[in-house]
Copies of this chain bind each other. A is one copy, B any other.
Amino acid sequence: MQYSNDEITRGVLAEKSGVNIETIRYYEKIALMPNPLRSDGGHRIYNKVHLKRLQFIRRCRELGFTLQDIRELLNIVDDKTYTCDDVKNRTIAHLNDIKQKIRDLKKIEKTLKNFVSECDGGLKPECPIIDTLFA
């Protein structure tokens, strides 16, 4: 069995997409990726459509979308029932989540900075950080 010009193995798909080879199988299991064709011996055969879809998923993940978000996006794209309005609103909702996370982390950052500034870095078993957290 030979893979023709457009056809690639899972390993090659992993390389080209930047997605872990095991993760590809995982996405298939949870039906984010379709069941691919198989060789006579049972090896998966992928093509450019799979690659595009997997890259889409990877980019969405890098932007912090959950797999559920991505599933919904892919569904409306597959259906062609999506609108720019819908996608925009989903993106805004996600952006708001991200903003909230940044706010939360900044609060933590501030607290940690205060903690660090109160430590003399001495070598005795006494520390204002521990004292505060145990108060």
Residues of B within 8 A of A87 (CB): 119, 127, 129-130
The residue on B at minimum CB distance from A129 is B87
Residues of B within 8 A of A108 (CB): 62-64, 98
**A123 and B56 contact, Cβ closer than 8 Å, known pairs A102-B102, A109-B98, A112-B91:** no
Contact of A12 with B by CB under 8 A: no
Contact of A38 with B by CB under 8 A: no
Task: Identify the A interface with B (CB < 8 A).
Answer: 52, 55-56, 59-60, 62-64, 73, 77, 80-85, 87-88, 91-92, 94-95, 98-99, 101-102, 105-106, 108-109, 111-113, 115-116, 119-130, 133-134
